[in-house]
Amino acid sequence: MTLAIPILIPLVFMIFMILRLPERVTRTAGISGSTLMLAAAVFILIKVKTEGIQTLYLGAWEAPYGITFVADPFSALMLVVSSVIMMAISLYAIHFLSSEYRSGKFYIFFFTLAVGLNGAFLTGDVFNLYVWIEVMLLSSFVLMTMGKTQDKLRGGIKYLALNLIGSLFFLAGIGLLYGKTGTLNMAHLAQIVQSSEQTQWLNTPAMLIFLAFGIKSAVFPLFFWLPASYHRPNITVSSMFAGLLTKVGVYALIRFFTLFFVQDPSFWHNLILIIAGFTMVVGGMAASTQYDTRRILSYHIISQIGYMVMGLGIFTPLAIAGAVYFMIHNMIAKTNTFLVAGMIQKVKGSFDPKNIGGLFTESPFLAVLFIIPAFALAGIPPLSGFFGKFILIKAGIESGQYLITAVAVLTGLLTLYSMIKIWNEAFLKKGEADSETKKLTFSEALPSVILGLISVLMGIFAAPVFDFASEAAEVLMENTKYIESVLK
């Protein structure tokens, strides 16, 4: 029953929000709902850590006949990290939502998105994953296009178009997969693939599904929807999307390509590595040509996705552990940079660093809040990003993939460059004397402080976090454990 809780909590709160309650009530409910979700996620994580992989057979139909929920260390970790971000966003939303999201409208879709997200992390069934992703996408469409400005609608249409096509690719892939194997249960699929001798037929569904999640996780040739849309909605929504949506695509890629798309490894891993390299470089370069803070950060999401995909492409236990660690770090730090961008806008009234200046002297506190996630993303030593990159690069060198490792190291410089650009323009440059600066209250900064602290702690206590990430990677690489605990 435990595994259903992270889905039931947001579902109940979502229904509660439809009642159109007064502003104060929806805010409190938003925060308490996401806190409860976090508590449930942590509970599941502890249970997975102590008792091993958890399963839930919905409707008591045993696997592979019914829909199964599975929580292995990887999905439990993702669940916790996404709940932390949801909680930070619910705190942030109090101060930063614009008027069209008021009166609980935001929270309805906030919780629907949480339902889809938690479902996608927990499900052990391919078709069920499609349904959860669709739930998540539809609520993100609504959040993206709420409010009648032309700008938002334009971004929304682009976002919707490519993501819909991605979903349809995924569905077609599922159809072919089912036609060949007669099952939709991930563990059962893995078992069938292991025991069958000819696995060439898997390449067609694998390619369709790779394309689908490539679109959703915004890898190199398929990322164009992301920079066209992510900077348009309210900053609260942008930061939520930045931290969560693309990572679901990466999660599904890692899950699928470690569990059952294991045929033809030389072809797939090379393809994934090539794509990872291009994703990193193109994203990083595009970020360094932009000027709007949100656009820099949006391109930057793409560049960082490259690192996670690179971990999957190297495909050693260390590399997968690195990818898992990097994902956790990136979700937290990326959301945090968007939160800080919103705060800069609130203080100085602009997202364009050219129009800002002198923040370092005027608001040193904000400078510290910016420098933590920015340096974490760039990979400066005591922070979380350094260890993420270090592990990935170490794994790359150990397995002899020197080219991609070099690309990863150089992309780090590009990241640093674009972060320094924001820093120089917005913080160091002398501000105009007559410019107005609003004061930032502590409760406005609280979510960023929380996420910043996590980034710092993840750097200082890198060893225990990494141990758990390697445990997750071990379960991913040795899929017999997963199969056995699902198909008892």
Partner 1 sequence: MEIIMAIFVGILYAAGVYLLLRRSILKFIIGILFFSNATNLLVFLSAGLIPGGAAFVGEKSANGTVLTDPLPQALVLTAVVIGLGVVAFTLALKYKYFEVSGTDDLDEMKQEKSETNLKEEK
Q: Please give the residue ranges that form the binding site for partner 1 (CB under 8 A).
A: 127, 130-131, 134, 138, 141-142, 145, 148-150, 153-154, 156-157, 160-161, 164-165, 168, 171-172, 174-176, 178-179, 182, 184
Shortest distance (Å) from residue 244 CB to partner 1:
20
Alpha carbon of residue 256 to chain centroid: 17
Q: Which is nearer to partner 1, 153 or 457 (CB)?
A: 153
What is the C-alpha end-to-end distance of the chain, expressed in Å? 18
Q: What's the rounded Cα separation, in Å, for the pair 261 and 255? A: 9
Shortest distance (Å) from residue 209 CB to partner 1:
13
Q: Which is nearer to partner 1, 174 or 219 (CB)?
A: 174
Q: What's the rounded Cα separation, in Å, for the pair 283 and 280? A: 5
Q: Please enumerate, as own/partner, the contacts of 42-51 that have beta carbons within 8 Å and a separation of 24 or more.
A: 42/80, 42/83, 43/2, 43/5, 44/2, 44/3, 44/5, 44/6, 44/71, 44/76, 44/79, 44/80, 45/76, 45/77, 45/79, 45/80, 47/2, 47/71, 48/72, 48/73, 48/76, 49/73, 49/76, 49/468
Q: Which is nearer to partner 1, 66 or 317 (CB)?
A: 66
Neighbours of 289 (CB within 10 A): 10
Cα 120 to Cα 71, 78, 134, 282, distances in angstroms: 11, 10, 10, 29
Neighbours of 183 (CB within 10 A): 18
Cα 244 to Cα 210, 261, 333, 339, 349, distances in angstroms: 19, 24, 12, 14, 26
For residues 56 and 207, the answer to whether their CB atoms sit within 8 Å is: no
- Residue 56 DSSP one-character state: E
Shortest distance (Å) from residue 148 CB to partner 1:
6
Which residues are paired to 56 by β-bridges?
69
One-character DSSP codes across 390-415 = HHHHHHHHHTT-HHHHHHHHHHHHHH
Q: Which is nearer to partner 1, 134 or 264 (CB)?
A: 134
Counts for the chain of helices (H) and strands (E), in that order: 20, 2
Shortest distance (Å) from residue 164 CB to partner 1:
6
Shortest distance (Å) from residue 475 CB to partner 1:
28
Q: Which is nearer to partner 1, 158 or 269 (CB)?
A: 158
Q: Which is nearer to partner 1, 35 or 204 (CB)?
A: 204
Q: Which is nearer to partner 1, 171 or 274 (CB)?
A: 171
Shortest distance (Å) from residue 238 CB to partner 1:
18
Shortest distance (Å) from residue 296 CB to partner 1:
16
Cα 262 to Cα 217, 254, 258, distances in angstroms: 20, 11, 6
Q: Which is nearer to partner 1, 156 or 373 (CB)?
A: 156
Q: Widest CA span of the chain, in angstroms?
A: 74
Q: Which residues contact 181 (CB under 8 A, 6 or more apart)?
A: 188, 189, 192, 193
Shortest distance (Å) from residue 162 CB to partner 1:
10
Q: Strand ranges (DSSP E) for 308-397? A: none
Coil/strand/helix, residue 463 = helix
Helix ranges restricted to H, 182-292 = 186-195, 203-217, 225-229, 235-259, 265-289
Shortest distance (Å) from residue 140 CB to partner 1:
11
Shortest distance (Å) from residue 157 CB to partner 1:
7
Q: Which is nearer to partner 1, 181 or 258 (CB)?
A: 181
Q: Which is nearer to partner 1, 95 or 154 (CB)?
A: 154
Q: Which is nearer to partner 1, 179 or 381 (CB)?
A: 179
Shortest distance (Å) from residue 480 CB to partner 1:
26
Q: What's the rounded Cα separation, in Å, for the pair 351 and 231? A: 10
Q: Which is nearer to partner 1, 58 or 171 (CB)?
A: 171
Q: What is the total residue count of the chain?
A: 488
Shortest distance (Å) from residue 348 CB to partner 1:
17
